[in-house]
Amino acid sequence: MRRSVLLMHTVRYLKFKQLYYQLLYRVRKPRLGKSISVPASGCLQSWPDHFYLDTPTTDGVRYTFLGETATLGSDWNSPTFPKLWLYNLHYQDVLNAGGAAEREELNRTLVDKWIADNPPMTGNGWEPYCLSLRTVNWIKFFSRAGAQPLKPEWLDSLALQVSALEQQLEFHILANHLFANAKALVFAGVFFGGIQGDRWLKKGLQLLDVEIREQFLADGAHYERSPMYQAILLWDIADLITLQQKSNLTEMSGRASFWQETLLRGINWLRELTHPDEGIAFFNDATFGIAPTLGEVEAYAKRLGVKLPKASRGTDANGKLLQPSGFAVVAWPQEHRLLADVAPVGPDYQPGHAHADTLSCELSLYGQRVLVNSGISQYGEDAERQRQRSTAAHNTVEVDDKNSSEVWAGFRVARRARPIDVALHQEANEIRVFGRHDGYRRLNGGVTHTRSWHAQADQLVIEDHLDGTFQSALAHWHFHPEVRIQQLDEGRFSLTLPKGERVELDIEGGVAVLKDSTWHPGFGLSLPNKKLEITFLDSRLLTRIEWRTA
């Protein structure tokens, strides 16, 4: 499809505010003086040792980000590195990563080096998202300075960066980017005093008041519906609660209970989208190693005094439909777990982290992942990023070689699938999840994909039905790399799990071919795995997965 048509179908979902700021920021650039002297307030001291990232460098010369190690000279914006790698460099997470207390002198040197090598408004480091994350990292680090005084040039540079951020808040992007901007303004407003500090605090809190209510849904989900970004933003909220407790400012205290309630609901949602192996499910942009784990978020919340309910395990299978986020969960007591995506792609005006994965699912049996969506290994705009976002990279159905949602250009979505008639019914030890979507109605055949999951004590039956006309239809089942697959006869397969358990998979209504594929459990990682590609013989396909109960 022509790029202009895709762009038209993308832009029509945007808010007027986004379009306005896109144009405004093209013609209006931040105005900065040579320096801004803003006094530190002195009300934030000794940020606690909360971290989830390992240090990316031990010498300030060799850095490892996203699975790639490189040597840094004086060019923080070298075109030889991917832009996301450079972004991570400019965040300066090293200042608060594991073992930061043992790197005190190195960290001070890195702050000096960043200031010397990055003149105002030059390079990636002065883009608003980088400014936001680095502002928070510097303030946390500065608060732990102890007996060593803060250099005046540090404070002047930080104030200049916050001023640059304030003039280019990401209203054109919104979502998690604007949240990060607001968090940084609040940190700056607490750290700095004077008129500027008061203004930054007020503006940041006002933004957060709006964005938390809009971005976190009633069931606790962040509205971009990525378990990875869910964990990142929950850590952000925990940071805000810590900031409130450390500063004890009236403006912050009045919001503490709301922030704690949001954190608690968000943790409960993340629990549901976590497999028995304690790792997140791969829906939309999600992989390991970028966000804190559920356990790390829970530990942080407990240190803040947030009372978390104990996770309970029943004696029978139990189903939950998480609404309005749109995910279904079936949990068996033997550490079997089904996670199903019956959700919209995300907020209409910002689906940048969405995949064409509607009605996909993941399955763990005996605590081990069996069916897996493919995950992500990069954030470029090339063919591999497009493939990883595609319908074919997920456990769902592809019609006429098209994606269920028109993902394109790395972070864009044109026409998108919408779930219809989503429901969950439970009777005794049987659970049925049902949903359909209209993503293929845009095609000439006007196809609607319907999927149901019928879960019982020792089996899961997945039925797909296509209403409409089509030339070809494929169901994709991707298996964890440690699952061994053997074809027994036509339509019958034996799965051997890593700990030796046997599972049978039967196909009715299609021709199945075992193919090579890849799974991406981290940036820069591509592990070989197997997938079944099933060609529909008619409009109905049945997949039956059976296991032995203990």
Q: With a cut of 80, say whether residue 36 has pLDDT above it.
A: no
DSSP string over 113-138: HHHHH--TT-SGGGSHHHHHHHHHHH
Summarize pLDDT for 100-142 with one digit per residue, the tens.
Answer: 989 999 999 999 999 999 999 999 999 999 999 999 999 999 9
Predicted pLDDT at 148 = 79
Burial (CB < 10 A; 0-12, 13-18, 19+), residue 427, is exposed
The first and second tokens of residue 183, run together, are 């968090």
Q: How far apart are CA 492 and CA 424, in angstroms?
A: 28
| Residue 549 confidence (pLDDT) | 63
In this prediction, residue 550 carries a pLDDT of 52
pLDDT of residue 421: 97
Q: Is 233 left (phi over 0), alpha (psi -120 to 50) or beta?
A: alpha
Average pLDDT over residues 260-286: 98
Burial class from Cβ neighbours inside 10 Å (0-12, 13-18, 19+) for residue 31 reads exposed
Question: Mean pLDDT, to the nearest integer, of 420-428?
Answer: 95
CB 227 within 8 A of CB 233: no
Quick one: which of 515, 83, 47, 404 has its CA closest to 243?
Answer: 47
Give the integer Cα–Cα distance in Å for 54 and 504. 40
pLDDT at 73: 84
In the predicted structure, residue 502 carries a pLDDT above the cut 80: yes
Q: Compute the average pLDDT of residues 438-445.
A: 97
DSSP characters for 41-94?
A: -S----------PPPS-SSSSEEEETTEEEE--S-TT-TTS-HHHHHHHHHTGG
> How would you class 115 by CB atoms within 10 Å of its CB: exposed for 0-12, middle for 13-18, buried for 19 or more?
middle
In terms of pLDDT, which residue wins out, 2 or 294? 294
Q: In the chain, what percentage of residues exceed pLDDT 90?
A: 90
User: How many angstroms separate the CA atoms of 117 and 119, rounded?
Assistant: 6
Tell me the CA distances in angstroms from 372 to 283, 487, 547, one per residue in order.
10, 19, 18
Average pLDDT over residues 435-456: 98
Residue 491 has pLDDT above 60, yes or no: yes
Q: In the structure, what pLDDT confidence band is assigned to residue 45 with cuts at 50, 70 and 90?
A: confident
Lowest-pLDDT range, 51-55, 315-319, 397-401, 502-506? 315-319
Share of the chain above pLDDT 70, in %: 99
* DSSP state for residue 487 in the 8-state scheme: E
User: In the prediction, which pLDDT does 40 show?
Assistant: 83
Contact in structure between 549 and 501 (CB atoms under 8 Å): no
Provide the β-strand partners of residue 495. 485, 503
- Compute the distance between CA of residue 295 and CA of residue 300 in angstroms, rounded to an integer: 9
Unique residue bearing structure tokens 């595609």: 390
103, amino acid identity = R
47-63 pLDDT per residue, tens: 998 899 999 999 999 99
Specify the pLDDT at position 28. Answer: 94
Q: What is the pTM of this model?
A: 0.97
User: What pLDDT, in 10s, does the model give residues 190-221?
Assistant: 999 999 999 999 999 999 999 999 999 999 99
132-187 pLDDT tens trace: 999 999 999 999 886 678 999 999 999 999 999 999 999 999 999 999 999 999 99
Please report which confidence band the pLDDT of residue 420 belongs to, taking 50, 70 and 90 as the band edges: very high
pLDDT band (50, 70, 90) for residue 248: confident
Q: Which of 110, 106, 92 shows the shortest CA–CA distance to 56?
A: 92
